[in-house]
A and B are shown apart, each in its own frame.
Chain A
Amino acid sequence: MISVQNLSKTYGRFGRRTRALDAVSLEVRQGETLGLIGPNGAGKTTLLSCLLGFLRPDSGFVRIAGRSVDDLWVRARSGYMPERLGFDRDLSGAAFLAFHWRLTGGDPGQTEARVASAADRVGLERPSLFKKLRTYSRGMLQRIGVAQATLGDPDLLFLDEPASGTDPLGVAVVRERILEAKARGATIVLNSHQLSEVERVCDRVVFIDRGRLVRDETLRGEAASRRRSSVRVPPEKAEEAARVLAEAGLAAEIAGGGMLRLPEGSEAQVAAAVKALALADVAVLEVRSSAELEEMFKEPRPS
């Protein structure tokens, strides 16, 4: 769906040049949700800007469904949410959504229904929908930003820190909208520092550091790489649990607080560990399985 080949972008002129992207290549399959991860200044936003056609690469190219990013066919099927919603603050939320519905080329007769539905889906109540955007809190702006990006159910979604500044309920709403788009087969590129959210919704993450794509991790499916699983038992039973797991051929590492880390994260291994502990009469209080993006974030280069 999205093909990025040898993309390079440099900012500045005459000696003060910064290479924001350095020969980045990646493919995003149709229906895939890709997370962009990396420290501030790594080049994630530059990459997103190139995907959206806001920036022109110095070399390399981006193709979406085999077409240029500027192609109106591509834009008609895209939704974009910037990190900070900078739009006409004198518009009401409803007028803002109606304007974007018209921009998508949507049926004018459906404007009211679509606006109401989009607002409902992000939990914006009717009274606040008719208030001016300048009166909105950061969380409300993020919600209406997600609502405008998903108007018309686009096939492609580009989201830049969609849950930034929102309360836990807002984070959940944003996640639900992403999962909803994902369920209907949309291809999503998500730039976010909220690693737990990235892990929950993304099929794959790419780590960008100093303009280079340094790591590409699949989080879901058969090809899922390096997931870590842990089981939590009562702390006083940790030693016993470790011994039981060792006898079952699983060399678990005690991590404190009754947590035992399993050497691999496969579902089969987790099931074997739980079974062994249950048979030994050791209560399993919790099972965690994660890609441990935070660890990867600290050590982005593959070992």
Chain B
Amino acid sequence: MIRRYLRQKLNNVGVVVALGGLALLAAIQLAVSGGEAGFEVGTLAVFILAAACVSKDASSGGLQMILCRPIRRSSYLMGRYVGILAGYGVFLLIAAGLCIMASQALPLIGASPQPLQPLALARGALASMLVAMAMAAPILMFSTFLPGYGDALGYILLTPLLALPSVAAQVLKAPAIEKVGTFLRQNLLPNPDWQAVLSGRNPLGEPTGRWLFAVVGYLVLAVVFFSRREFAYGQD
């Protein structure tokens, strides 16, 4: 299932070109900063890898052919999730490799990048993978019931949606609503300071717990929605 997912994504020339471009961009940023910049552009790569992860299979009819085989729906979903993360892992490895090459090449063209710190590079890659895990889970959940690229759109809309309580709190001058908004944002879109956590500062603190809760919660919801979903095919 994981191999199939990677093959489906990487057989698309547009996806490969986009991921290659993003890896190059990330590599240059990292090389210039000596590995301290992190993999910020990686979030776009997660979008590319995760978008339409289930919906495309459902609309093509391929999913029905898989689900009539002795495969649990949850196994199929986990295959998609791990496939996204495996794809992103490859992206990070390529970006890191390009970064190492760029840090050697940049001085040759007269640039003076910061000396590359391998530990910072590794920490940045790991932090980026943890961010990807939290992004891919809700996109996968949305993909179990939204058609086409609705999953990626759903994730994008989640941020302004969760900002609404704060706006409402300001307009209505109701601090209680603000608290609800903060609670929702912290728990539904957790954003721990992974650089700090991975440096050993409070690794098992509240932010890490919220991240874990959100990832597990989205995956459980994805399985629940997907298990109940109906798949029609053809015409009577």
Contacts and interface: CB of A to CB of B under 8 A. Distances in A.
Interface of A: 20, 38, 40-46, 49, 52-56, 72-73, 75-76, 78, 80, 82-88, 90, 99-100, 103-105, 148, 158, 160
Contacts of B236: 20, 38, 40-46
Contact of B61 (A20, A46, A87): A87
Contacts of A100: 65, 69
Interface stretch (B4-12, B16-24, B167-175, B207-215): B4-12
A54 B64 contact: yes
A53 B69 CA distance: 11
Residue in A54, A55, A90, A148 with the greatest tally of chain B CB atoms within 10 Å: A54
A53 B235 CA distance: 17
Nearest 5 A-B pairs (CB), nearest first?
Answer: A86-B61, A103-B69, A76-B70, A80-B68, A86-B60
A104 B69 contact: yes
A42 B7 CA distance: 39
B70 A88 contact: no
Contacts of B70: 72-73, 75-76, 103-105
B69 A55 contact: no
Given A56-B230, A88-B62, A100-B69, A40 B7 contact: no
A45 B62 CA distance: 17
A54 B231 contact: yes
B4 A99 contact: yes
27 contacts: A20-B236, A40-B236, A45-B234, A45-B236, A46-B232, A46-B236, A49-B231, A53-B67, A53-B68, A54-B64, A54-B67, A54-B68, A54-B233, A56-B230, A72-B70, A72-B72, A80-B64, A83-B233, A85-B61, A87-B60, A88-B7, A90-B11, A100-B65, A103-B69, A103-B70, A103-B71, A104-B69
Contacts of A105: 70
A52 B230 CA distance: 11
B235 A82 contact: no
A241 B63 CA distance: 59
Contact of A87 (B7, B65, B233): B65
Interface in B193-236: 228, 230-236
A72 B231 CA distance: 18
Contact of A82 (B65, B72, B230): B65
Contacts of B232: 46, 49, 54-55
Contacts of A20: 236
Nearest to B8: A88
Interface in B62-86: 62, 64-72
B234 A82 contact: yes
A73 B4 CA distance: 24
Nearest to A54: B231
A226 B109 CA distance: 90
Contacts of B231: 49, 54-55
A38 B235 CA distance: 12
Nearest to B60: A86
Nearest to B71: A103
B219 to A, nearest CB: 20
A84 to B, nearest CB: 7
A80 B61 CA distance: 12
A82 B60 CA distance: 12
A103 B68 CA distance: 10
Given A55-B230, A87-B61, A45 B69 contact: no
B77 to A, nearest CB: 15
Given A53-B68, A55-B232, A80-B64, 13 more contacts: A40-B235, A45-B235, A54-B231, A72-B70, A76-B70, A80-B68, A82-B61, A85-B65, A86-B61, A86-B62, A87-B65, A100-B69, A158-B68
Contacts of B65: 80, 82, 85-87, 100, 148
- Most interface-central of B7, B66, B70, B71 (chain A CB within 10 A): B70
Contact of A52 (B7, B68, B235): B68
Contacts of B11: 90
A43 B64 CA distance: 18
